[in-house]
Every structure is written in structure tokens, then in C-alpha cells.
Chains A and B, each alone.
Chain A
């Protein structure tokens, strides 16, 4: 009989919490010395479903990440050289993998609770980072995204369900003004990564947003924001272009023609604006915005999400 591996949790086979703390302290020193980013993520499985979650996480992590146990049904992932947007992308990837697990995917959406924190923005030490991470995991339990219908039912069904659940608030902002300000924010921090979907409304309505975007950037391999603009083609076909923006022409979608929306997923902020029957509504729950973005990308075959 072989001796138990002291580096691994005997129940799940994941690395032990002690190894995580040791590696995290070392990576934190490295990040501090070289002025780099580092993220940690926490996951809590529904009761009795630790193994399917572990399998999903094992598929989601990169070679350089470290997946460890952190208690019953609880896992942590150390993400070296990962900024806040990278951590968000990892959480989304992990959610997608969890949805593919029959035991987890059969549950209503969002049964896995999750959170992430990034050095240096969220804390200077491991304790502070883990504290912020756990607080976000706890907050994700109250997210309206947990009650969303399966992703296969699409983007508009998810919007309707969130509205019915009271997740949206009335907004007092004009969508044009807000889109322009979002674009100006991108111009201030052109290397800042963000994923933005804007859609609906009349043809040619993206002009103010495109005009406020930063002039440079958008070459293949560049880090920075990516925008997907969904809507009908302008009548004369003449519409400004921008290297950061991917134009998706959807002329026959009646709901898209009627209802305007904006989804923003950035490292430190998530936001959704939706004009339903001319009434602007908005929310900032990161998990809900992420779920909307995932469903939008799947429904309209946008990649990469």
C-alpha cells in the first residue's frame, strides 16, 4: 500500500491548503518585487457535489495555476500573473465548465458560488486577498443570476427573468451619454481590458460611442478592450469603423431592433443597461452581467466570449 501524498487532500486529490498558502506567499513576493498582478479565486460546491466541481475546475485551470482544497466542498485557485479581468475570465470559464458537468448543469444556473480577488488592487497581503475573495464568494450567493434559466434558453429569456426577479433598477441616464462615457473611460486606460457588448436601437446609433473610443490600439495580440456592436446595417452602408470594435449585423432580429442594451465586463466593474419599452433599467451584479454576456455570445454566435 503506497503512503499518502502529503501535498494532496486525501478526499479529493486536489493540492492541500498548506501547499496553496506556501505557493501563494511565494508568488505574492514575486508579484510585489516585479510589480506584477496575481489573483486568487474561491469556489464552493453545492452539498455533495465537490467532485464534479473539482473535475470542472481541473479543466478550467492553466498549467501555471494551482488548484487546492480549502475545506469541505471548498476550493481555491492561485492564478499567477493574472489581473482582475483575467480572474473574471477564469471565473466565467470555470462556470462554463461546471455547466458541462451533468451533476452541476442539471441544477438551476449558478449553483456554484465563486469569488476572486487581485493583487495589488484588492489587498497587499494574502490574508487581505483571501478575505476579499471570500466576501465576494458570500456575495455571489445572493446574486439573481443563480435563478436564471439554462443558458440554452438564450439572452432575452435571461433578461426577462432578471427583470421579473427585480434585479434591475430604473436608470436616470441617457444610453448615448453613458456609452460615450464608457468609451472615454477606455480612452483613459487604453491597456485596460474589458469586454463590451452594445446592441439594439436604430441603424447608425453607434456613432457617438465609436467617436469617443481611443484612437490607437486594436492590433492582433494587443491587450485592451474589445467591443461587439450588434444591430442593423446603416441604410447607406456608410458607418464608421474602429479596430477595437467588431460590428455584428443583425437585421432581422425584431427584439434587437426594439430594445437597446449595453453590457460591460471589466476587471473592477460589471454593468448592464437595458431599455425595455423606452424605460432604461440597469444593474451591476457581476455574476448577472457575466451570465447575460455568456448567453448573448452563445445566442448570436459571438466569439471569443
Chain B
């Protein structure tokens, strides 16, 4: 008979602890109650439970400290910790049921964990050394997949539409995520090759591929056919041309072509250089703001732009002669996914809003007034910016010169009529971020 899961409930309010405890017992849990953080710590270390549920307001040892201490202690490191918000007993029971259920599911697998702690390269080498047979599932929001191992040799790989070594290279190029390894008596298939050679080749491809992908603006960047007379006749280039009957993201092109991702990226880069393909910026709004590789390149750029050390929040200087230009540009910026404007309207200077890039940094859009008399403010407000978004013609060059950064990525929003083109600012910001990512990848 399986032992019931033991839950340590740390709560200072006896009445609420009774209600929560009853709900947990109805789930079949054995519940131990502690009225303060110190007692909870003693109980947890003495006999590690299967789950700790703690009120956010614990006396003696605060909930946050309790979580930190338990996660630092080897005996209790693996114990899940649930910080209790103001919720009903029924809501708590549902949450705990989910947590314990996930734990049970994980226990059914032989191995499970985070790829941040155990990179896929190391995991595969470990499985090979132990001559394991089974299926390794890689769980990632993007580029998840499955690998089949037979007596330590890789015999099968799948990632999205890709199979075989193309899928393996794609899985190894990805970062983070979780994994589970499920042992099986036998997995059919021929070995894909010596693991050492496969991993070395994958590392080379991941490096070169990420450089090319960043230069393209990430997997979310859209491409379209270029000049018709440059239509390629054969090979991967012809396959790409055929797939681009309408603008498509790089990710779709990687899936549609039969060649490996690196060969496809090299082919795309060559076609772009020749003019046979062109970026299709207008299709971006439908997809992610920027590709993952571009977002990562921007993260690196933000870290490097700190004056005295790594920083995590970057800035984009928004150049405007007066606040009306900002007011006119705001609707276009608001349409960008991840953009949140400041609650109050900007005056002559200030932060306009911020944009959070998926897998990338937070970027604050800082208004830099650009009248001639404002020039002393330019360095103060603009130094360290990733780039400059100019809401008017002729501002960017003077700004870059003042900052002594002739290569600063800039994008200008021209005013075609009496006001700004309402779509212009958002498009220009995307172009600017893509240019900054390309500059970083160079």
C-alpha cells in the first residue's frame, strides 16, 4: 500500500490552518502543522515532507527565508514549496493536488530535471556512458522534441517537422527547458553516428547557425521573394523560392526545406545578399516581436552597454523635437506586443514606456528632447542606449555624433503629411531592434 504524501503546513492562524489541513486530509495527505517559520524549519529538516505549504506572513522565520533555507539544505532541496496566497481551502487543495500529481508523474520516469542545470550535451553523454535504452523527451516552448536511445546510441530524433540529424542539431542548438527520460526495453532504429562526432558537429552548427540567425533577425523574421529574374534554379535555394509564394517566417522556411538548418540559413543569407529574397517587415506584427536569437543578441548587447558592469534593463533613446511627436507615435507603439506605456503622458523628457521582449531584455523608451538648446541633455539621457528612434528627420545623425557613436543603430520615422504615419513608429522601432541585434551578432 503506498504511503500517503506528507504535507507540512506552516500557518500562524490556527483557524485557517485547521480549514486548510482538513482540505488536504480529504486529498489523502498526512498533514503536519507548524505555527511559525522556525518550527516549520525544524520539522522540515528533521523529517523532510513531500510538500511544504507556507503562509506568506510567517512569524520568526519569514516565508521567503524559509524557502531559501530549505532550498539550500541538501536534505530538503528537492521538496516543493508552495507560498500560500489568500485563497480558499478548496483552491489550496486543487493547487496541492496538481503539485503532488506532477511529482507522481515525474516519479514514473527514470530521470527528470531542468536542462538549465544539466545541459543536453552532458545529459546525452551520461546516458551513452550508462548504455541506457529509452526515450528522452525535451520540453521547451519552442524546439521541443524527442530522442530515442538504444544501449546508449542515438537511433532516432524528432523536433517539430524535422527528423534525424536535422532534428538532433536543432534540439542541441536550443537552450533551457526540461527533460524526462523514460526507459524502454528496446528502441528500434540505426545509430545516427558516433555520439562524440554528432555532438561536436552539433556544437559547430549551433554556433554558426545562431550567428546567421541573429543576423537575419531571428526565426520570427519574415522573408519574401525578391527580384523575379534572380529566381534560383535548383537545390535548397529553389526549394526556398518555391516555399515563398507568400511572405513567411524563417522558422517556417527551416521546416519546409529538406536540408539541415545551417545549410538553409546559409542559403537564405546568400539569397538575401544577391537580392533574390528580401525582408518582409510588414508581416512581423502577426508573429513574435523579434526572434529568439535576436532577443538573446539584444540581451547580450544590453549587458555590455553598462558603464560599470552588466546591466539588465536597456534603453532606446526616442528623439523628438517636441512632445506632440511622441503623442502621435504612441498609438503605433501601443500596437506592438509587449509594449506598456507609462501611466502619465510624457512631458519634455521622461520614460515613454517599456517593451518586454520574449526571451530578451526589458527596454525602456526614454524621450530625449532634440531642440538645439537641449543638446547638453543628450549624453545624460542617451548614453548607453541600444539605439535611437528618431521621430523626425535629421535628428539621428546629430545625436549619434554627440554621443561619439557613429555606428549607433538608428531608425527614423519620417512625417509624410501633417503628422506622423501612425504605423511608422512601431515599424521603425522593430527595424531598430533588428539592426541592434545584427550589430551585436557581427
B-binding residues in A (CB < 8 A): 37, 83-85, 120-122, 132, 135, 169-174, 177-178, 180-182, 184-185, 188-189, 191-193, 223, 264, 266-271, 282-284
Query: Known: A191-B306, A267-B307. Is A284-B313 also a contact (CB below 8 A)?
Result: no
B contact residues, range = 20 to 34
Q: Is the CB of A269 within 8 A of B383?
A: yes
Bound Cα distance from A73 to B306, whole angstroms: 34
Q: Which residue of A lies closest to B371 (CB)?
A: A172
- Identify 8 residue pairs between A and B in the complex whose beta-carbon atoms are under 8 Å apart, listed by A's number: A83-B308, A135-B404, A172-B369, A172-B373, A178-B377, A191-B306, A193-B307, A268-B307
Bound Cα distance from A189 to B98, whole angstroms: 39
Q: Given the complex, which residues of A lie within 8 Å of B306, measured CB to CB?
A: 189, 191-192
Q: Which residue of A lies closest to B347 (CB)?
A: A177
Q: Given the complex, which residues of B lie within 8 Å of A172, measured CB to CB?
A: 348, 369, 371, 373-374
Q: Is the CB of B383 within 8 A of A188?
A: no
Q: Is the CB of A193 within 8 A of B375?
A: no
Bound Cα distance from A223 to B351, whole angstroms: 25
Q: Is the CB of A184 within 8 A of B307?
A: no
Q: Is the CB of B374 within 8 A of A191?
A: no
Bound Cα distance from A121 to B309, whole angstroms: 11
Query: Known: A189-B384, A282-B376, A283-B376. Is A177-B348 also a contact (CB below 8 A)?
Result: yes
**Nearest CB in chain B: distance from A231 CB, A:** 21
Query: Known: A121-B307, A181-B350. Is A169-B376 also a contact (CB below 8 A)?
Result: yes
Q: Given the complex, which residues of A lie within 8 Å of B381, measured CB to CB?
A: 181, 185
Bound Cα distance from A223 to B309, whole angstroms: 10
Q: Given the complex, which residues of A lie within 8 Å of B313, measured CB to CB?
A: 188-189
Query: Known: A182-B380, A269-B379. Is A84-B307 also a contact (CB below 8 A)?
Result: yes
Q: Is the CB of B404 within 8 A of A191?
A: no
Q: Given the complex, which residues of A lie within 8 Å of B349, measured CB to CB?
A: 173, 177-178, 181
Q: Is the CB of B383 within 8 A of A181?
A: no
Q: Is the CB of A191 within 8 A of B380?
A: no
Q: Is the CB of B304 within 8 A of A120?
A: yes
Q: Is the CB of A169 within 8 A of B373?
A: yes
Q: Given the complex, which residues of B lie within 8 Å of A169, measured CB to CB?
A: 373, 375-376
Q: Is the CB of B373 within 8 A of A268?
A: no
By Cβ-Cβ distance, the 7 closest A-B pairs, closest first, are A267-B307, A284-B376, A268-B383, A269-B379, A188-B313, A271-B380, A191-B309
Bound Cα distance from A252 to B189, whole angstroms: 88
CB-CB contacts of B360-384 with A at 8 A, as 1s and 0s?
A: 0000101001010111111111011
Indicate if B315 sits at the interface (CB-CB under 8 A): yes
Q: Which residue of B lies closest to A184 (CB)?
A: B351
Given contacts A192-B307, A266-B383, A267-B308, list 15 more A-B pairs with CB under 8 A: A83-B308, A85-B307, A171-B373, A172-B348, A173-B369, A174-B348, A177-B347, A188-B311, A188-B315, A193-B308, A223-B308, A268-B383, A270-B379, A282-B376, A284-B375
**Nearest CB in chain A: distance from B399 CB, A:** 13
Bound Cα distance from A77 to B376, whole angstroms: 29
Chain B 289-334 interface residues, beta-carbon cutoff 8 Å to A: 304-311, 313-315
Q: Given the complex, which residues of A lie within 8 Å of B383, measured CB to CB?
A: 266, 268-269
Q: Is the CB of A268 within 8 A of B384?
A: yes
Query: Known: A132-B404, A177-B349, A266-B383. Is A170-B373 also a contact (CB below 8 A)?
Result: yes
Bound Cα distance from A172 to B364, whole angstroms: 23
Q: Which residue of A lies closest to B376 (CB)?
A: A284
Bound Cα distance from A128 to B314, whole angstroms: 25
Bound Cα distance from A140 to B270, whole angstroms: 47
Q: Which residue of B lies closest to A283 (CB)?
A: B376
Q: Is the CB of B308 within 8 A of A192?
A: yes
Q: Which residue of A lies closest to B382 (CB)?
A: A269
Bound Cα distance from A180 to B381, whole angstroms: 12
Q: Given the complex, which residues of A lie within 8 Å of B375, measured CB to CB?
A: 169, 284
Cβ contact of B380, chosen from A132, A177, A192, A269, cutoff 8 A: A269
CB-CB contacts of B35-77 with A at 8 A, as 1s and 0s?
A: 0000000000000000000000000000000000000000000
Bound Cα distance from A284 to B306, whole angstroms: 20
Bound Cα distance from A264 to B381, whole angstroms: 11
Q: Is the CB of A268 within 8 A of B379?
A: yes
Q: Given the complex, which residues of B lie within 8 Å of A267, measured CB to CB?
A: 307-308
**Nearest CB in chain B: distance from A20 CB, A:** 23
Bound Cα distance from A173 to B376, whole angstroms: 11
**Nearest CB in chain B: distance from A195 CB, A:** 12
Q: Given the complex, which residues of A lie within 8 Å of B304, measured CB to CB?
A: 120
Q: Is the CB of A181 within 8 A of B308?
A: no
Bound Cα distance from A83 to B308, whole angstroms: 6
Q: Which residue of B lies closest to A182 (CB)?
A: B380
Q: Given the complex, which residues of B lie within 8 Å of A193, measured CB to CB?
A: 307-308
Most A CB within 10 A of own CB, among B376, B378, B381, B383: B376
Bound Cα distance from A267 to B309, whole angstroms: 11
**Nearest CB in chain B: distance from A296 CB, A:** 18
CB-CB contacts of B270-286 with A at 8 A, as 1s and 0s?
A: 00000000000000000
Query: Known: A177-B347, A177-B348, A268-B384. Is A191-B376 also a contact (CB below 8 A)?
Result: no
**Nearest CB in chain A: distance from B40 CB, A:** 27
Q: Is the CB of A177 within 8 A of B350?
A: yes
**Nearest CB in chain B: distance from A36 CB, A:** 10
Chain B 380-408 interface residues, beta-carbon cutoff 8 Å to A: 380-381, 383-384, 404
Q: Is the CB of B377 within 8 A of A282?
A: yes
Query: Known: A173-B349, A174-B347, A188-B364. Is A284-B371 also a contact (CB below 8 A)?
Result: no
Cβ contact of A173, chosen from B311, B314, B377, B384, cutoff 8 A: B377
Query: Known: A132-B404, A173-B348. Is A271-B309 also a contact (CB below 8 A)?
Result: no
Q: Which residue of B lies closest to A281 (CB)?
A: B376
Most A CB within 10 A of own CB, among B304, B308, B373, B383: B308
